[in-house]
Amino acid sequence: MAEEEIKKKSFFGRRNKDEKRSEMSFVDHLEALRWHVVRSVIVWLVITIVLFIKIDWIFDKIIFAPASSNFITYGKLCQFSHWLGIGDALCMPPINLQLQGNTVSGPFMSALSISMIGGLVLAFPFLIWELWRFIKPALSEKELKYSKGSIFWISICFFIGAAFGYYLLAPFTFNFLANFTLGTGGAYKYIPTLDDYIDTLNNIILGCGISFELPVFVYILTKIGIISASFLRKNRKYAVLIILIIAAVVTPSPDWTSQMIVFVPLQLLYEISVFIAARVDRDKAKKEWS
């Protein structure tokens, strides 16, 4: 009898807890969401203010670094090219990029943009954690078990992608654009604006950071049942073609070695996604047989 009473108490305890969750009104959900958003905005603002205070150092050492001829990537790629025995194939020509401004508020707005985007990048793990805290009560114990470590992996993938864009794609992009000429008579003089440079760098970093979330997206979609490992294997040839096109676009140099530097990491991401999807499929099959 004692055991049955304990079971009933635990059962009704869970039921009451679930009922409280289900009885939360739309306003209650909005209130919970509001505090998650408030905390996220506070953290983002604090980081943004700190970055704005140090904006001169950040611009000189971080933002403008990929457009400088002494950027670490240029020397390392050239050394890597010689180590591979392909000569100067990966050695980029010197870059001398001068930026112009055509508005009175340009420097201030650019500094604000750098600080805000930088704050978003640095606060990314906290923002994901707050989002996780908001959706966590709606997840079952099984879903909570599968989602362990998700914040860590989402953050790692994002920062690896951001670093890939900053240290690899950005130098290729700025080097190509700075040395690209239109016409032979010198009628066109290329002097990019500060806003254009910052927007391009932001798009590269954020775009690569999101692109490197591919394994995480595949894991979620496979769990839901939208895709499978067999689907990814079946469409691998199309994925290779799309990745080759992307590599050709972001590295306009006709040299195949520079395109392979972009292609290999992206293709590796796809293969990792196939591996993850296969593991999820195996886990599903085991549970069906058990």
pLDDT, tens digit, for every residue of 8-33? 444 344 444 444 444 556 666 677 77
With a cut of 80, say whether residue 153 has pLDDT above it: yes
With a cut of 60, say whether residue 63 has pLDDT above it: yes
CA atoms within 13 A on the CB side of 182: 7
CA atoms within 13 A on the CB side of 197: 26
For the stretch 186-242, pLDDT in tens is 777 777 888 888 988 988 888 888 888 888 888 888 877 788 888 888 888 888 888
- Which residue has better confidence, 284 or 143? 284
- Which residue has better confidence, 153 or 88? 153
For the stretch 91-115, pLDDT in tens is 777 677 788 888 888 889 999 999 9
Give residue 14's pLDDT. 44
Give residue 250's pLDDT. 61
With a cut of 70, say whether residue 7 has pLDDT above it: no
Mean pLDDT, rounded, for 158-177: 86
Give residue 160's pLDDT. 92
- Which residue has better confidence, 20 or 176? 176
Mean pLDDT, rounded, for 239-249: 80
pTM: 0.77
Give residue 204's pLDDT. 85
CA-to-CA distance for 274 and 278, rounded, in angstroms? 6
Q: How many other C-beta atoms are found inside a 10 Å radius of the C-beta of residue 171? A: 21
CA angle 238, 241, 243 (to 5 degrees): 110
Give residue 28's pLDDT. 67
With a cut of 70, say whether residue 133 has pLDDT above it: yes
Give residue 203's pLDDT. 85
Mean pLDDT, rounded, for 56-84: 86
Confidence of residue 62 (pLDDT cuts 50, 70, 90): very high
Residue showing tokens 């950071």: 209
Instruction: Give the tokens for residue 125.
Output: 């793990």
The rounded percent of the chain whose pLDDT value lies above 70 is 83
Mean pLDDT, rounded, for 66-84: 82
Three-state SS across 178-238?
Answer: HHCCCCCCCCCCCCCEHHHHHHHHHHHHHHHHHHCCHHHHHHHHHHHCCCCHHHHHHCHHH
Mean pLDDT, rounded, for 245-265: 69
Give residue 207's pLDDT. 83
Instruction: Give the chain's mean pLDDT.
Output: 80
Give residue 166's pLDDT. 92
Give residue 6's pLDDT. 44
With a cut of 90, say whether residue 124 has pLDDT above it: yes
- Which residue has better confidence, 285 or 11? 285
Give residue 54's pLDDT. 94
